[in-house]
Chain A
């Protein structure tokens, strides 16, 4: 299933990438939609799907119960909760097109573990 999601996300991201490298905007008659036909490469989506993958095994946390918070720089939370310490987690995130960075905190219920806070470019 993880492979299937990853494949889907890669397909979507590849699609987005090819769109963003398209030609420069055509000459507009005005800023009004009614005066201009939509170009063939028009993009109306304001959100993109980005894959967030994390392998908890890469972080030396002792606690058995691990928790993950994924959020934007504005503080808006995209994921929050317990994760399986033994498995990678793969999440589809729905991000506005002008958001390129997400932050994450990884922490456990073991007092000796230090919280891990990182940023990730998506």
Chain B
């Protein structure tokens, strides 16, 4: 009996410490401010979570001889930065450990991503480790007992430490972010740092592998040079019309009849990025916003991008509530597609963009502006495609008018919806009796005419452009009659 009891006691002594040895992530008190930080690893954000030297050693062992930090990237939008994708670059990071009165420094570190960047005052680019993330989300960590659970940490810094930390009396991470030459635009503008502080945490192996797999914000950051942790690496992006600008599709929806030519029945902004691996297109990103809706009809809005028959892939469609990172009911939606990309990205525009008590949104004078929903699509091809095999932009952004049953395309395209009233319409159609199209694609500086104001009245040089085959008045959309348009402003409708 007594021998068995001693045996049980011995087992308990052996088992209990192992149960406690599971390292949990801890948020640290110090932060990176104004581009630099001196982070005391013994001070947790909540004092009760302060780490001991033994805790640090557990963390180090947990990661096979490294300390791993998670960073909450918290930046203002510059370059192509936005809430869903933002970044900074690290100029230096030095970990100083004091053990038994001796100081040890560790300056080797890695992050999942790098970029070629020019430092402030220089135009020469060098390779720097970067930290990429997003705001406005709750990236729940898998361990609910972790101090990070429910927080929004993004990127990881891994620092190899080849000494035991059980007896450390001091452990400080000094980190300096790179001040980039933002005058060069992206990628430098994207990876700049602002006054906004960056939180840090020491993370467990469980949380670090979760964040590495999540790779928040990485899919759209410019010039990401991955270190093999991103599932679908991208070497380069080609952007249409650019990384920050949108095509504006402005519709007259009373097809086939001639109507008031205000081209504000539905106004949608969209842009497309093709992600390339080597010289093949491996993924597709689409972003867009509803800008205005000046119609009694309701519509569904589609984007069709011509692809080879053998193309296939899967992706996700997001539809965010106006000014919010919260998605509309039913979103995100998984999609899969073979052949051309052709997806309904907005369903029921009248219920989506609505001012209570009013028929229209953002097309009437003396009525307050509202922001519209934002949509995005990420799509990965099963097999990368040749760039030359993808249709040219601005593609085929088309409308199905629910009330009339007609679909409306650019004249260069044919009908696509088998169920529409005009499902036999071929290429060259989609013009009215006066020879005008029902949709025009315009750069984003354009503002929609007010309700029932003819486009040519709001922009007096538009017809000069049209009738000169584009040889004259090329910038017609930048010189409106101020009293004839609804000044929405791209900074307003492009709310993220």
What residues of chain A have their CB less than 8 Å away from a CB belonging to chain B? 1-2, 4-5, 8, 12, 16, 19-22, 24-26, 28, 30-47, 49, 67-69, 71-72, 75-84, 87, 89-92, 94-98, 105, 107, 109, 111, 114-115, 117
Contact = CB atoms under 8 A, between A and B. Distances in A.
A120 B301 CA distance: 37
B356 interface: no
A1 B385 CA distance: 11
A43 B465 contact: yes
Interface of B: 80, 116, 118, 123-127, 184-187, 189, 222-223, 225, 234-245, 247, 258, 260-261, 276, 278-279, 386-389, 392-394, 431, 434-437, 440-443, 454-457, 460-472, 474-475, 477
Contacts of A39: 435, 466-467
Contact of B436 (A4, A20, A38, A83): A38
Given A34-B261, A76-B244, A43 B469 contact: yes
Of A44, A95, A111, chain B has the most CB atoms within 10 Å of the CB of A44
Of A39, A43, A77, A117, chain B has the most CB atoms within 10 Å of the CB of A77
Contacts of A43: 465-466, 468-470
B279 A96 contact: no
A1 B384 CA distance: 14
A115 B223 contact: no
B116 to A, nearest CB: 5
Contact of A80 (B187, B245, B454, B475): B187
B472 A25 contact: yes
Contacts of B472: 25
A109 B464 contact: no
A16 B457 CA distance: 27
A1 to B, nearest CB: 4
A82 to B, nearest CB: 4
Contacts of B116: 67, 107, 109
A115 B123 CA distance: 8
A39 B325 CA distance: 46
Contacts of B185: 71, 75-77
A77 B243 contact: yes
A110 to B, nearest CB: 10
Contacts of A19: 469-470
B243 A25 contact: no
